[in-house]
């Protein structure tokens, strides 16, 4: 069994592994939207191929968590930390899946000119990437105030999502030939909006870990 010092070191290393996984997810999201904007199928393929690395990272960290629970008999606070880490992994993996979905849509739309310049979708991605980065920083620092600030930025994603929805519906009503592409772009905006929800889930767990209170941010 670990000493308390060694156990604390194991928890710190666990946090660093979560950050590394988060970096992969953040980069996958950035690349998928860049592939969409630039119509770059090679970059889209890179995102799709890289999803296995994210999944493997998740499994490796889950194995570490299982070993810590099984061998160290963590006290309540430590156990909450480990369980929260498992939940964070799930949210990150889901964001990684959404990056893959975006890359796949890009490949479907590759031969079509976009019905409008892609401005708001890249803006949503930029906000979402920042939320992932700052949310995970708040997690490893156990900083509930920072978590609350990160979660508040989800409102920006919701507003952009609603704006894109209105615009695309208008385009599709004016030209039924654009319905297929419009539906794909609507899915893209929805996936980016859901990214904000996943980061908000992480932020709620940070507040719970720090305060013991379940909150809705």
Between helices 4-38 and 41-72, what is the axis angle to 10°? 160
**Among residues 167, 157, 159, which one has the least CA distance to residue 192?**
157
- Look at residue 185 and tell me if it is in a domain: yes
Q: Number of helices (H) and strands (E), helices first, in the chain? A: 7, 0
Task: Look at the chain and report how many structural domains it folds into.
Answer: 1
In a domain, 120, yes or no: yes
Digit-coded pLDDT (tens) for 119-136? 999 999 999 999 999 999
Length of the chain, please?
A: 217
Is residue 38 in some structural domain? yes
**What's the CA gap between 126 and 121, in Å, rounded?**
9
Could you give the percent of the chain with pLDDT greater than 90? 82
Answer yes or no: are the C-beta atoms of 168 and 187 closer than 8 Å. no
Q: Cβ-count burial of 170 within 10 angstroms (0-12 exposed, 13-18 middle, 19+ buried)? A: exposed
In a domain, 175, yes or no: yes
For residue 74, the model assigns a pLDDT of 74
Torsion of CA 126, 202, 28, 129, to 10 degrees: 10
Domain that holds residue 58: 4-211
Q: Is 128 a member of any domain?
A: yes
- Domain containing residue 49: CATH number: 1.20.58.220
Report if residue 216 sits inside a domain: no
Query: Tens digit of pLDDT per residue, the chain (217 long)?
Result: 556 777 788 888 999 999 999 999 999 999 999 999 999 999 999 999 999 999 999 999 999 999 888 887 778 888 888 999 999 999 999 999 999 999 999 999 999 999 989 999 999 999 999 999 999 999 999 999 999 999 999 999 999 999 999 999 999 999 999 999 999 999 999 999 999 999 999 999 999 988 888 888 8
Helix 144-152 with 154-174: angle, nearest 10 deg: 20
Residue 55 lies in a domain: yes
Compute the distance between CA of residue 133 and CA of residue 149 in angstroms, rounded to an integer. 13
138 in a structural domain? yes
Model confidence over 171-206: pLDDT tens digits?
999 999 999 999 999 999 999 999 999 999 999 999
What confidence score (pLDDT) does residue 3 get?
Answer: 65
Q: What is the pLDDT of residue 211?
A: 85
Q: Report pLDDT digits (tens) over 42-52.
A: 999 999 999 99
Q: Are 177 and 134 in contact (CB under 8 A)?
A: no
């Amino acid at each position: 069994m670990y000493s308390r010092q060694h156990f604390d070191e194991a928890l710190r290393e666990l946090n660093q592994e979560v950050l590394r996984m988060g970096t992969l997810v953040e980069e996958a999201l950035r690349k998928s939207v860049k592939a969409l904007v630039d119509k770059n199928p090679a970059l889209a393929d890179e995102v799709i191929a890289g999803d296995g690395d994210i999944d493997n990272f998740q499994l490796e960290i889950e194995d570490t968590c299982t070993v810590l629970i099984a061998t160290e008999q963590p006290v309540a606070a430590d156990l909450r930390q480990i369980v929260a880490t498992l939940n964070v992994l799930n949210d990150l993996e889901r964001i990684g899946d959404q990056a893959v979905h975006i890359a796949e849509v890009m490949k479907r739309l590759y031969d079509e000119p976009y019905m409008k310049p892609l401005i708001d979708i890249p803006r949503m991605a930029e906000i979402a990437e920042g939320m992932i980065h700052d949310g995970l920083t708040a997690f490893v620092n156990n900083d509930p105030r920072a978590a609350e600030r990160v979660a508040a930025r989800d409102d920006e994603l919701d507003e952009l999502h609603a704006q894109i929805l209105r615009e695309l519906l208008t385009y599709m009503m004016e030209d039924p030939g654009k319905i297929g592409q419009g539906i794909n772009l609507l899915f893209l905006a929805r996936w980016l909006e859901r990214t904000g929800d996943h980061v908000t889930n992480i932020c709620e767990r940070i507040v719970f870990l720090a305060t013991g209170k379940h909150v809705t941010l």
